[in-house]
Amino acid sequence: MMRVLAVCLCIAVLSAGGASFAFADDGKPPKELVEELSKVAHDGFLTVKNPQGQTIVKPEDAKKLKFPIINYEEREKAVARGYLSATAKWCGLKWEQDYFKPYVKSLQVEHGKKWTPHQYAYAEVLHGVAMGVETREKKGEKCSDAEKKRVAALAKK
């Protein structure tokens, strides 16, 4: 179900355009990018519908889910991982198996039952939004062998 949500939000982000940002040497995305994508993900997360036409987040729950749903550090991780997943996909690597699933697993290990299902879902949606933006940025470019090796070395971390 969250995959449908992420796809819908990615389409919205891709069609809306977006700015290009350079990541810092430490691999962290710029704060402006994290904030911009976090807001897009939050707004879409509250209103997007599943294939049956029902909103994913119930109206009574939406009122409780004030921005931000997760802290800045976790949003930063979601955006960074989304960009990494997009680059892996662009390079022909198994992005879902080697980049997305380990990210979700790390959230579960770190947060366990402390997070609500909405927090997990939001982190996944934000990952998808970031992935969509980077996919658009890389459109028409070719992944070099050096980039593929660099990204492959980051798998499952």
Distances (CA, A) of 36 to 18, 69, 147: 9, 14, 26
Burial class (CB in 10 A: 0-12, 13-18, 19+), 137: middle
Cα 152–chain centre separation: 19
- pLDDT tens, per residue, the chain with 157 residues: 444 444 444 444 443 444 445 554 566 899 999 999 999 998 888 887 777 887 778 777 877 888 889 999 999 999 999 999 999 999 999 999 999 999 999 999 999 899 988 898 899 999 999 999 999 999 999 999 999 998 998 875 6
Q: What is the pTM of this model?
A: 0.80
Domain segments of the chain: what residues?
Answer: 2-17+26-153
Sign of the alpha-carbon torsion through 74, 22, 43, 10 = negative
**What pLDDT score was predicted for residue 1?**
43
